[in-house]
Amino acid sequence: MKKWKIISLTAVSLSFIAINGYLIGKNDSEVQHTVYVEDWTRVKEKNVVETFHTDGVIMPQEEYDIYFHDSEKEFQRFLVKEGDKVTAGTPLFEFTTPELDHLRETVELEKQQAEGEIAGIDEYLSTLLDYQASISSSTLTTESESDSASESEFDETALEVGLRINENASSDMIISTIEQEMYKQELEKSKLEEEVRKYDSQLNSINEQTSSAMMVSETDGIVKEVNKKLGNPVITIASNVLAIKGQLTENQYKKSETGMPLTAIAAGKKLEGTLGKINDYPVNELAIGEENHYQFEATMTEQPEALAIGTKAAVSVVTAEAIGVPTVREEAIHHVKTPYAYRLNENGQITKQSVKTGLSFDGIQEIKEGIEIREVMMLSPDHVPQNKAYFVTEMKPNNIKKSAFEEITSHEKWESFLIGLIEK
């Protein structure tokens, strides 16, 4: 009998334990659970800044090439040497312009030709005047008089042919024709004299110029290279404006855009600037199995002083940022279908809270919606058996510091203390 009672009691006890174990383990069970929270964190206002790091070198921002075209000029000498500092307007080299002498010769020849034509017109006018004076206004010259005139200084017959004078024309008609011809010649002479004055003006302008000229710098900088063999460019000038130049990996290239802010450390100095240029073509020839690199150039907000060209720089490029936003540690956010977190509320319960996340970088997650700054989120364990389960935390008096208490209000101090003692 006693044996039967023992067996029955044991069976009932095991059944009771099994049923309670099932109810406790069931997710939708109404049996209250108490969860031991090993680690937790607060929602804090922080800046989430996504960056990548690369190397760069301090280099001149621009290089200016100076060319010399010898088809129209003759080179004389360089006026600067490599390493010289130049400013806008500094003479770089001297050359002559042979075409100036050729132009002078051409103008002088045209002037002489015009003056020769004027002399010819003057001689022709003199002949016309003599011919006009020899004409009688009343009667035509007789044959004998014509023979006598043929021996004069001018050829009347040639003039009559040139002037198209009819042999039966009257003296008045001949004189009128001569006067018309003289008017035409005077008009032509006036035009030629105007041309001579124009040529004189051109010659004066040419003579005021020198056949020797100089090429000057258009910018401030340092003479990087002088090609004494006169191969173009004959001079290369590196600008005084410095920039950071380097290379990006393929992943960095995909994230990069012009205008992105960056910081750099060069020779112990912190520099700030922005991505100015990104070359879309790889530095090296494309090859299968090799990673491509892309040239970039960054402009600096302020030009550094006493920083040598070629100084190496550690560059940090900001690809995205969220300033002054609610944040938690990344491990506080769980992802199934939608992101959620476990919140430790003031009632000592754990509640599952859906959240909308933003930028995440370096272990920090931006929270856009769902939880607020200063709320407490559970880190470990990473799940709870049921929603609104109660929790307990370990008291660590050795870790309590004065600075920790200064960050919370008196109400929160007592509230946090009591939450740690709650157990159901």
What is the per-residue pLDDT for 152? 46
Q: How confident is the model at residue 34 (pLDDT cuts 50, 70, 90)?
A: confident
Same domain (yes/no): 84, 175 = no
The partner residues of 212 in beta bridges, in order of sequence, read 96
Same domain (yes/no): 88, 221 = yes
What is the per-residue pLDDT for 415? 65
Q: Is residue 46 one of the residues assigned to a domain?
A: no
Q: How confident is the model at residue 424 (pLDDT cuts 50, 70, 90)?
A: very low
Q: Is residue 273 one of the residues assigned to a domain?
A: yes
Same domain (yes/no): 114, 194 = yes
Q: Is residue 411 one of the residues assigned to a domain?
A: no
pLDDT: which is higher, 213 or 370: 370
- Least trusted range by pLDDT, from 137-146, 160-169, 372-381: 137-146
Task: Report the 10 Å Cβ neighbour count for 103.
Answer: 15
Start-to-end CA distance of the chain, whole Å, equals 40
Same domain (yes/no): 286, 252 = yes
Looking up residue 303, the CATH number of its domain turns out to be 2.40.30.170
Q: Is residue 206 one of the residues assigned to a domain?
A: yes
Same domain (yes/no): 59, 126 = no
Encode pLDDT of 322-365 as tens digits. 999 999 999 999 988 899 999 999 888 999 999 999 999 999 99
Q: Is residue 157 one of the residues assigned to a domain?
A: no
Q: Angle between the 156-163 and 171-208 helix axes, to the nearest 10 degrees?
A: 80
Torsions phi, psi of 201, nearest 5?
-65, -40
Q: Is residue 409 one of the residues assigned to a domain?
A: no
Same domain (yes/no): 312, 179 = no
Q: How far apart are CA 21 and CA 40, in angstroms?
A: 28
Among 319, 341, 359, the domain-final residue is 319
What is the per-residue pLDDT for 144? 43
Write the burial class of residue 98 (CB in 10 Å: 0-12 exposed, 13-18 middle, 19+ buried): exposed
Total of domains in the chain: 3
Question: In the structure encoding, which two tokens stand for residue 193, read together?
Answer: 């004299």
Torsions phi, psi of 34, nearest 5?
-120, 120
Q: Is residue 110 one of the residues assigned to a domain?
A: yes
Q: How confident is the model at residue 376 (pLDDT cuts 50, 70, 90)?
A: very high
Encode pLDDT of 253-297 as tens digits. 999 999 999 999 999 999 999 999 999 999 988 778 788 999 999
Encode pLDDT of 61-97 as tens digits. 999 999 998 777 889 999 999 999 999 889 999 988 7
Q: Is residue 326 one of the residues assigned to a domain?
A: no
Rounded mean pLDDT of 32-47? Answer: 88
Pair 239, 61: CB distance under 8 Å: yes
**225: domain range?**
64-92+217-236
Same domain (yes/no): 70, 169 = no
Same domain (yes/no): 181, 226 = no
Same domain (yes/no): 227, 250 = no
- Least trusted range by pLDDT, from 18-32, 63-77, 108-122, 126-140: 18-32
Torsions phi, psi of 420, nearest 5?
-70, -20
